[in-house]
Amino acid sequence: MASLSYWFLSPSLILAIAGKLRGWDRTVPTPAVDWRRMTVDAVVPAKNEEASIAIALSSLIAQDFPLRRVVVFDDASTDRTSAVVRRYREVTGREIELIAREHSIGKTPALREFCAQTDADAIFILDADSVLVSPNYISRLIEELFRNAGVAAACGEVMPLTEDRIEGLAQGDAGVRTVAAEFFPRARERSPFWKRLLTRLTVLYRAPMYVLLQRTLYDGNLKLFGAQLNPVGCAVAYRTARLRECFDYAGPRIGDNLSDSEDIYIGHFFNWKGYRNFQVLGVRCETTEPPIHRLPRQLFLWSSGFLQSTYYFGALVVSPLRQIKRLIPGGKPAPPENQGPRRIQEQYRAAWGEGITQTEGRPVGWLELMSLLEKVAYPLVLLYLAWFNQEAFWITLGAETLLCMLLILATADPGSRLKYAAMLVPALPIRLMSLGVDLVASVKCLADLTTGNREWRK
């Protein structure tokens, strides 16, 4: 999720603001298929998710888009995840397939195997610790996924999953209430007070961060480049053919080592091929947040996944150099003589294929390069200022916080603007910690490249 570092007047932020001011490409799309007729299989990877799997399934079944299959992959859980799924299936009468493995293989191999055997037009992946808040979440994703031929992945907005939301969803589904009463007769046993307190600290940081990233950075960059670096992996729809293409490419080269965060690798692959990762604003999912003491590990996986993916798809990083070269007289290759006018008009349409990326570059490469530079440089700049110029250090943090508060006030939903903007102030220490994690991930990635370690898998 947080593959972008944001800071006061950073290049990524400037690009995002330019995109929001510029607006969408006004080309009217001409879809070749009717998205309402597409077949969609839903997959729920799970490992030790007994406390949340029933609510996740409840939100999935409540969607207004007809799902052909709902499949739960229990990756050798040591808790009662499979038992909860079976009981929920029994009391609701829903057709839910359960594949329970005796030995863990990981999320990526399970998705690869499923992608290879399904004939669905699209695959929707929902993490077992996430819920779909908007009942039209999947339908809006599928609509955008098949509106343009170049879109390979689509996701909605993500926010932290709160206790109030969990209780509300549980009360609205008789199956969830039955499962909760049988498996968790005392709710406090599921979530001790100390864990709830530590989780709220994470939510304090994550909620305004998600609003800032999605409503300003992701939306602005999407409007400017037509794509974002990667989809939000907790609830995302993929075109099956495109996802299969990614797995087929990675298989003989790196196997299932799709970085420390597979959705980041997949998103980079799509950009490398000239496809698009699309985020739909206005539909929301919510995901369980880790307690504050476990947050650094999650941030490390995301940051490492981004750095590892830039290594795998380095042609994206150097795209700006090729883009600049094309501006030089004589640097732009002549089009083929038999190339005629484009028959199908599409927003942000570009030629597909890694060959184009390697020879001409991709506009989204600017975002790739700026994000990489910020992730490495900004923690170092702050560390230098904290050591040698503390006044400049605090001015920088204050300017960043003030700017981010203004952006949240301008983009967040009316009823939550002040709350999220105010949350940035007490979340500042966690923000500094996250920058330290970025620095550690950069050092670890450099060490891996030096030693030849490529065992990059979640």
The DSSP symbol for 333 reads P
- The enclosing H or E element of 128 equals none
Q: Are 28 and 58 in contact (CB under 8 A)?
A: no
**pLDDT for position 166:** 82
Q: CA angle, 206 as apex, 202 and 210 as ends, to 5°? A: 165
Tell me: the pLDDT tens digits for 327-339?
676 655 554 444 4
- Span 11-316: which CATH code? 3.90.550.10
**pLDDT for position 212:** 92
Domain residue ranges of the chain, discontinuous segments joined by +: 11-316
Q: Which tokens hold the place of 409?
A: 């006030």
The residues of the chain scoring below 70 in pLDDT are: 1-9, 186-191, 326-327, 329-345
Contacts of 422 (CB under 8 A, 6+ apart): none
The neighbouring-strand residues paired with 126 are 235
Tell me: the pLDDT tens digits for 68-116?
999 999 999 999 999 999 999 999 999 999 999 999 998 999 999 999 9
Torsion of CA 314, 319, 325, 327, to 10 degrees: 180
**pLDDT for position 333:** 57
As a whole number of angstroms, the distance between CA 140 and CA 280 comes to: 7
Q: The pTM is what?
A: 0.92
**pLDDT for position 329:** 66
**pLDDT for position 138:** 98
Q: Which tokens hold the place of 112?
A: 């690869």
